[in-house]
Amino acid sequence: MSVVNLKNKTTRFFVFASVLYLGWYLLYHWVVKPYTVIDEKLISLIIENTAFILKIFGFSVYQSIEGQNMQLIGIDGSHPIWIGSPCNALTLFMFFSLFVIAFPGSIKKKLWFIPLGVIIIHVANVLRVVALTTINFYAPQYIEFNHTYTFTVLVYGIIFLLWMWWVNSALKEYKSNESKK
């Protein structure tokens, strides 16, 4: 039986990232979700941002709170879409952040890159909800496909591009430091 070689940088990254993700998963399910209102506040923020954008484009919007961690938004004349905890991007924020934390790079750069990435992911998520709300208004038969496939690929694609930005930046910093030695 071989022991994991933690001297290998790639192995160390995956072990560290896995431990961080497991820690986040347990913290979320045992503390954050049952004892805080973070999910509810994020959902409210998404609903408010979505309503703001839809109103800019001249839509009449309605909103409803249906229970803890589930709110509805719709354009007048259509069925609403519901936004629940799985849709608020908190897990995506952490998934993105833990990758950046686990991957080598300066702490100073991580302190600005993580909030920037979270903001970009939030904006992408709000635009996703805006698009789903308008799809539901104009062509509700396409809502499920777009929710399940189109926007999942787009949002995860954005996260992947952010990761690639981070990796390339960190590698450039590493190479620059190596050339100075």
* 3 domain residue, yes or no: no
* 100 domain residue, yes or no: yes
> Given strand 70-75, what is the order of strands in its sheet?
61-67, 70-75, 81-84
What DSSP string describes 100-155? HHHS---HHHHHHHHHHHHHHHHHHHHHHHHHHHHHHHH-GGGHHHIIIIIHHHHH
* 4 domain residue, yes or no: no
Give dist(CA 100, CA 155) in Å, integer: 17
What's the pLDDT tens digit per position in 65-105? 877 667 999 999 999 999 988 889 999 999 999 999 999 88
**Does residue 130 contact residue 160 with C-beta atoms inside 8 Å?**
no
Give dist(CA 153, CA 70) in Å, integer: 23
* 2 domain residue, yes or no: no
Closest by CA position to 73, among listed 112, 45, 36: 45
Which residue range(s) make up the domain with 96? 9-180
Give dist(CA 179, CA 14) in Å, integer: 27
Give dist(CA 27, CA 94) in Å, integer: 12
- Report which of residues 33 and 115 the model is more confident about: 115
Mean pLDDT of the chain: 90
Give dist(CA 93, CA 85) in Å, integer: 13
* 1 domain residue, yes or no: no
Closest by CA position to 82, among listed 43, 131, 52: 43
* pLDDT on residue 34: 82
* 24 domain residue, yes or no: yes
